Amino acid sequence: GQNIDQPTEMTATEGAIVQINCTYQTSGFNGLFWYQQHAGEAPTFLSYNVLDGLEEKGRFSSFLSRSKGYSYLLLKELQMKDSASYLCAAMDSNYQLIWGAGTKLIIKP
Amino acid sequence: GAVVSQHPSRVICKSGTSVKIECRSLDFQATTMFWYRQFPKQSLMLMATSNEGSKATYEQGVEKDKFLINHASLTLSTLTVTSAHPEDSSFYICSARSSGAQETQYFGPGTRLLVL
């Protein structure tokens, strides 16, 4: 079957670095997305990876290993506003999104 | 496994026709469902919030007469794109929010609409 796994909740300190992992199993693969969602708001697109490797975008980086079915989102220099849920979603061969349940990130001062 | 399903997964239609997309919560009752539209590599754009048994709340700029939403039961919401035009071609995603002590939002796999 198709499945996405990511931790339910993580806690980190302001100014630190946190890595949110995501493993996926899909029928075919057309890329992996990361979204940020603040409570009561629509998810905001953060990154899209379809090739192996690390893509850096400011304080946020996303990594993909297709052979391992693994991705992570790396957040540096954490700010209080980074407290949110982070959703991992893989696109299968039919261009359907398989969603993870989301990781709630709590930032402490 | 999936907790929210959408049907159809993809649809191609002629300009001027209407298309209905279903969103179902499989293992829970959802008093609130959301409809989003996504353009490639962009954030999900919230179109409307659908509450069971009442009228949907549309976001600014979304035509309620064009995008008809019905949330007739606690497990089903439908989005009907009326008189579809090529500019309506997009990826439509629904989500359902479970009720209870810990509300969680679950997203559907999306419906790819292509209007010719």
Question: How is B19-35 classified by DSSP, letter by letter?
Answer: EEEEEEESSS-EEEEEE
A16 vs chain B: nearest CA distance in angstroms? 26
Query: Identity (one letter) of the amino acid at B63?
Result: E
Counting beta carbons within 10 angstroms of the beta carbon of residue B76, is it exposed (0 to 12), middle (13 to 18) or buried (19 or more)? middle
CB contact under 8 A, A44 and B43: yes
Smallest Cβ–Cβ distance between A48 and the set B1, B41, B45 belongs to B41
Q: Give the residue on A whose Cα is nearest the Cα of B107.
A: A99
What are the distances in angstroms from CA A72 to CA A5, A43, A48, A68, B102? 11, 18, 11, 12, 26
The CA distance from B69 to B49, in Å, is 9
Q: Which of B42, B93, B104 sits opposite A45 (nearest CB)?
A: B42
CA–CA separation, B60 and B48 (whole Å): 9
* A78-95 pLDDT, tens digit each: 999 999 999 999 988 888
CA–CA separation, B106 and B108 (whole Å): 7
Task: Give the model confidence (pLDDT) of B29-76 as tens digits.
Answer: 888 899 999 877 777 889 999 988 888 999 999 999 999 999 888 899
Question: What length does chain A have?
Answer: 109
